[in-house]
Amino acid sequence: MTPVVPVITSVLVANRGEIACRIFRTCRELGIRTVAVHSDADENALHARVADAAVRLPGATPTETYLRGELIVKAAVAAGADAVHPGYGFLSENADFARAVLDAGLVWIGPPPGAIEAMASKTRAKELMGLEPLKEVTEADLPVLVKAAAGGGGRGMRVVRELAALDEELTAARAEALSAFGDGEVFVEPYVEGGRHVEVQVLADTHGAVWALGTRDCSLQRRHQKVIEEAPAPGLSEELAEELGELAVRAARAVAYEGAGTVEFLVSPDGKAHFLEMNTRLQVEHPVTEAVFGVDLVALQIAVAEGRPLETDPPRARGHAIEARLYAEDPAHDWTPQTGTLYRLAVPDSVRLDTGYTDGDDIGVHYDPMLAKVVAHAPTRADAVRRLSGALESAVVHGPVTNRDLLVRSLRHKEFTTAHMDTGFYDRHLTSLTERTPDPHAPLAAALADAHGRSRFGGWRNLPSQPQTRRYATAGEEHEVHYRHTREGLSADGVRVVHADAGLVVLEVDGVRRKFEVARYGDQVYVNTTALTALPRFPLPTTQLAPGSLVAPMPGTVVKVAEGLTVGATVQAGDPLLWLEAMKMQHKITAPVTGTLSELRVVPGQQVEPGSLLAVVQPT
């Protein structure tokens, strides 16, 4: 009897943000109706707005919403969906959720639950590949890596270099893993210094065909979360690339895999490949493989779920592709996540933009701070690097602080352009990559744009006038600029004002004419890529904080206070005092000085806003 092939007509995406929007895009091209789920915090999010239907998940945190499999299955049935796509993160590698979808009579756009169980747990995957995590850690094993068994993305991951810190890092990793994936299991493995993170995209159908769609290099990482990825991985020998492809296919066949998956390796400096894990889902960096092989992996996932066979041989690779993840975070200050309004986001048409945000959207505290993925494809790696770095440099990003400048500098760094990078890239170069270099003429351009049209009669007088003054802050420094209204228009010392209006200022400096695009949102002013804050003419009195004060660097929840910490305790500079959870990551707050804890203003579970006073350490 010929099996009934399901025809998918409506897909619920059990996810949010960029990946939900990306899956919806393919569904629309295929003529498939789309259903979104959203938390209360995401009620007005882009993915909820663009879907054909949307179902509310009451609550705000992931554990209340996107990790509630029973609510998502109920939403799919209520909305009339006949299939569920999990995206990545959240429940994408949860075998019980896959079973619940299938038990509800829905099509699961992903691998069989048995394959998920075999590979989604990093510990069981290693056992399947003949490897075992460390059971007991000794000094001789250091450094080691603590990893979450149920997920990736840097959550629940810690490098431990001192044995005394192991217990604390295990506890923090378990808490992060539980919050992000609903599973607090972690394990420990050796940490390879100076290695490259290389992975292979696999795709398997229900008829026995398995494709290995080349390699990707994902070595540039912060907090073990990828920042820049590319395909193919540069600098690998043909023998090593072939070996990795064969190992990936072997891993997929070992668990009767179906759909899209990724097998990850750490390649040591001596060229030896170490199996890391198999991600039984679509990867964040899948667009670079799509660009190089000319495929739509989401469309292929849907085709496999409908029982259709793959071609005998995969398509051939063409050119090189690089992806950069644009985050709302401050790399110069411990990668602190940023929140607020994204006033404007626009990139040149020469690159691909995958995002879950549009102009005016709010960036909240509950989820990952990634704003977008920007992808460039070109005939050669050098062309792709140039195209992506140029597009990012000219992109319009108005809102909270982002890692855009870091991305541009990373792409142009000699280690990257010569393909000699490894996972320690940011450990070595972060300071130089995050040096603030605001344009020295940006404050003047902002002032001239602000001055445009302020005078009813053109602003000039027959008598010499005093210069107008404006003050701006940027990169932690204040700048005072002066200009005049004259018979010929606006003027400033040392430059020639060629043109000035509210949105564009053209200055001639030392014979070179330069354009400055200006945008203002309240007190926030953006001049090309320089962000400024307009200051009042006369400084306002401000609240003075006592020396040794700790303030919240971001909005978040106090998840833990150091054991035994009470007012009057003696602390050393650098001692951890409390932990904040924001955007699915825990952030350690340490003592700024050695002294006595004179105030402790928070308790576990308390929500705090940026700048809130957390504690005060009276210096010794």
Catalytic residues: 281
Tell me the one-letter amino acid at 439: D
Q: Is 241 helix (H, G, I), strand (E, B) or coil?
A: helix
SS (H, E, C) 433-485: HCCCCCCCCHHHHHHHHHHCCCCCCCCCCCCCCCCEEEEEEECCEEEEEEEEE
Strand pairing report for 524-527 and 512-521: antiparallel
Q: What is the DSSP letter of 366?
A: S
Radius of gyration of the chain (CA): 26
Q: Which structure tokens are listed for 68?
A: 């509630």
Tell me the one-letter amino acid at 408: V
CA distances 449 to 50, 202, 488, 490, 522, Å, are 36, 53, 16, 10, 14
Check: CB of residue 187 under 8 Å from CB of residue 218: no
> H/E element holding 212?
strand 210-222
- Phi then psi dihedrals of residue 451, to 5 deg: -80, -15
SS (H, E, C) 368-387: CCEEEEEEEEECCHHHHHHH
- The span from the CA of 617 to the CA of 620, in Å, is 9
List, in sequence order, every residue forming a beta bridge with 512; answer none if it has no partner: 509
- The span from the CA of 537 to the CA of 418, in Å, is 49
List, in sequence order, every residue forming a beta bridge with 533; answer none if it has no partner: 473, 524
- The span from the CA of 265 to the CA of 278, in Å, is 9
Q: Is 73 helix (H, G, I), strand (E, B) or coil?
A: helix
CB-side neighbour CA atoms (13 Å) of 208: 0
Taking 3-state DSSP, the helix, strand and coil percentages for the chain, each rounded to the nearest 5, stand at 25, 35, 40
